[in-house]
Amino acid sequence: MCWLRELERLLLIFGTLMLALYVTARIHQTVLSKSELQRFKTQQLLSAARSHGVVPTTDSPDFSLWSGQRIKDYQRQIVALLRQLSDDNYDAAVRIASIPEAIRGYDSVKDESAKRALQLQQAHLTEFAEASLS
Between the alpha carbon of residue 125 and those of residues 30, 70, 81, the distances in Å are 37, 17, 9
Rounded Cα distance between 127 and 99, Å, is 14
Q: What is the mean pLDDT of the chain?
A: 81
Task: Judge whether 10 and 2 are in contact, CB under 8 Å.
Answer: no
CA 122, chain centre distance (Å): 22
User: Residue ranges per domain, the chain?
Assistant: 1-56, 60-133
Q: What's the pTM value of the predicted model, to 2 decimals?
A: 0.50
Per-residue pLDDT at 62: 63
- Averaged pLDDT for residues 90-100: 83
Q: Which of 19-28, 52-61, 119-128 has the lowest mean pLDDT?
A: 52-61
Residue 87 CB partners (closer than 8 Å, separation 6+): 52
Per-residue pLDDT at 12: 94
